[in-house]
Chains A and B, each alone.
Chain A
Amino acid sequence: MIKEYICIVCPRGCRVNVDENLNVSGNQCQRGKTYALNEMKSPTRILTTTIKTTFQDMPRVSCKTDKAIPKSLLFAAMKIINQMTIDKSMYIGDIVIENILDTGANVVLTKSIKESTNEEIYFSD
């Protein structure tokens, strides 16, 4: 079976084919080959989403995995994150979930959450 990938390394957007013996075709440069093989063997993604909070004026706060995690684990990771609720002040970069699903990636906040003014949010760290 041949799988087709659109290479996103550069704007050219080559359609790269990889067959079951890992022969790569359609790429116009070496980076495209690496990209396609990687996508075939172990595609990973950074997951970005939100977490529930108890703060009235900010019912959701944004977060991400600090490393890319296997694509196949995105929904499982969502399930874990969706069960969390943040009920205290936290800052951008703070770890909310350590080593999620044993991926080695932590879920970190991408925004600070605190009931206070702009200055306090940005300068208390």
Chain B
Amino acid sequence: MIDCIVIGGGAGGLAAAIEIKRLGHNVLLIEREDKLGGILNQCIHNGFGLEIFKEEYTGPEYADKYIKLFLREKINYLIDTTVIDLYKEEDIFIVKTSSETLGIREYKSKSICLSTGSYERTRGQISIPGDRPYGVITAGSAQRYINIDGYMTGKRVFILGSGDIGLIMARRMTLEGAKVLGVAEIMPYSNGLNRNIVQCLNDFDIPLYLSHTVTNIKADDSNHLKEIRVMKVDDSFNVIKDTEIDFQVDTLLLSVGLIPDIILLDQLDVEIDPLTKSVKVDQSNQTSIEGLFVCGNALQIHDLVDNVSKESQRTGKAIDLYLRNTNHSNKKISFIPGVNIAYLTPQYIDFSNPNEKVVVSFRPKKKIEKSLLKVIQNDRIVYEKKKMFLLPAEMETIELDILHFDENQPITLELEVIS
């Protein structure tokens, strides 16, 4: 019997597996690609590791650090192996895998750490009207094609959405000789980090069209992208007449959001948070199913990989505690996103282990210059802190002391805008 099966060998899975193994448990990590490192492998730009290593690395370098640690721990792992089924029988998790070399196998485990990352929102999910040509492609797919496979989808590019991958790809494609004609963002502010706006767009004079979106797509005779139409939107995102700008492009990159990939949990009756589009967890990142832990982008979308590593390491520690404690009492209360909070994790606070700090992650609903962050229970402010320059593009974390709370009442987190 395996103590913990870690599903996914990217930033999250590696950090969690290393921690669990170091704390003395036997771990099996399962990765579907033929290499460890996950999406970091295609993120060849720099900016990773400042928080953890105090040094700036590229994605592959950051991955390399963790892969070396992982391999030194002699952790069992499978690559080129896809988990096709995950379910629980009594107290045991059954993980069914499929691979070319081993065929279909079943592994039994006491706990699961799901770190399967995220997938990109596609054109279909945002329903851009028009033809359905090739050349409309998610930024991450284009990134893989260009950085790993060495293929350019086109030479005249427009980007919809100012998410970080889109901005990074604007620079990347420009450096590789493409002309990036602009980036349209439906919100009145950028969804990417300031640094990326400056170094990926401004450096190359690529215009950013805020409060704009793509309203039509045209194909040529061979069903390849020929032209897109961009229009301005009002405060309720309705397009404003006579604001059309047409761009002749062969590539439209979509950078319109990431969604936690928890498809594997379909078979399990696990509680979902519509705000994060992932599972609800307590502060140990345990889901409503005992022994099932989720971390990394599968839990919530991060903008810094360092935070993924930290969160996953914490999850690893929590799994250790779970494996040591045979008696799992569940004394949970709800932790609720209040005014100006887009979402938060954990959605529950578990009081069965009171000697710990709770790390809370959240994003504001809008750009807020000055705010008072308040944690409220029973109409009483339990915790309060001034917060400056909050942006939806940047995930915030705070630490709360569990001792300050009453074990019976729900807790709310809110942001009061102050001037």
Q: Roughly how many angstroms separate A74 CA and B61 CA in the complex, as a whole number?
A: 21
Q: Considering the complex, give the chain B residue whose CB is closest to the CB of A51.
A: B150
| Residue pair B389, A12 in contact (C-beta under 8 Å) | yes
A59 CA / B388 CA spacing, docked (Å): 45
Interface size class of B (residues with CB under 8 A): 35 or more
A-B residue pair count with CB separations less than 8 angstroms: 80
A118-B68 contact given A8-B195, A11-B194, A49-B175, CB 8 Å threshold: no
CB neighbours of B56 from chain A (8 A):
46
Contact B150 A64 (CB under 8 A): no
Which of A48, A52, A119 gathers the greatest number of chain B CB atoms within 10 Å?
A: A48
- Contact residues of A between 6 and 63, Cβ < 8 Å to B: 6, 8, 10-13, 45-50, 52, 58-60, 62
Taking CB atoms, residues of chain A closer than 8 Å to B61 are: 92, 110-111
Contacts of B394 in A (CB 8 A): 11
A88 contacts the other chain (CB 8 A): no
Q: Are the C-beta atoms of B150 and A118 separated by less than 8 Å? A: no
Query: Would B44 and A50 count as touching, CB distance under 8 A?
Result: yes
Q: Is the CB of B35 within 8 A of A118?
A: yes
B198 in contact (CB, < 8 A): yes
Of A8, A12, A122, the contact of B68 (CB 8 Å cutoff): A122
**Main SS of chain A's interface residues?**
mixed
Number of interface residues, chain A, beta carbon within 8 A = 31
Residue among B172, B175, B202 with most chain A CB within 10 A: B175
Distance in angstroms between the alpha carbons of A106 and B230 in the assembled complex: 42
CB of A118 within 8 A of CB of B203, answer no
Bound together, the chains give a CA A46 to CA B56 distance in angstroms of: 10
What residue of chain B has the Cβ atom nearest to residue A79's Cβ? B177
Distance between A15 CB and nearest chain B CB, rounded to angstroms:
11
> How far in angstroms is the closest Cβ of chain B from A20?
20
Give chain B nearest CB distance to A18 CB in angstroms: 14
Contact between chains at A11 and B44 (CB < 8 Å):
no
Pick the residue among B44, B175, B198, B389 that contacts A6 (CB under 8 A).
B198
Residues of A within 8 A of B (CB): 5-6, 8, 10-13, 45-50, 52, 58-60, 62, 64, 71, 74-75, 78, 92, 110-112, 118-119, 122-123
Binding site for A on B (CB under 8 A): 35-36, 41, 44-46, 56-61, 64, 67-68, 71, 79, 146-150, 172, 175-176, 194-195, 197-199, 202-203, 388-389, 391, 394
14 intermolecular pairs with C-beta atoms under 8 Å apart: A11-B194, A48-B44, A58-B148, A59-B150, A60-B150, A64-B44, A71-B203, A92-B64, A110-B57, A111-B64, A118-B35, A118-B79, A122-B67, A122-B71
Ranked nearest first, the 8 interchain pairs of A and B with the lowest CB-CB distance are A62-B44, A111-B60, A60-B150, A8-B195, A13-B194, A110-B58, A59-B150, A12-B389
Extra contacts, 4 of them, besides A8-B198, A110-B58 (Cβ < 8 A), are A48-B58, A60-B148, A60-B149, A110-B61
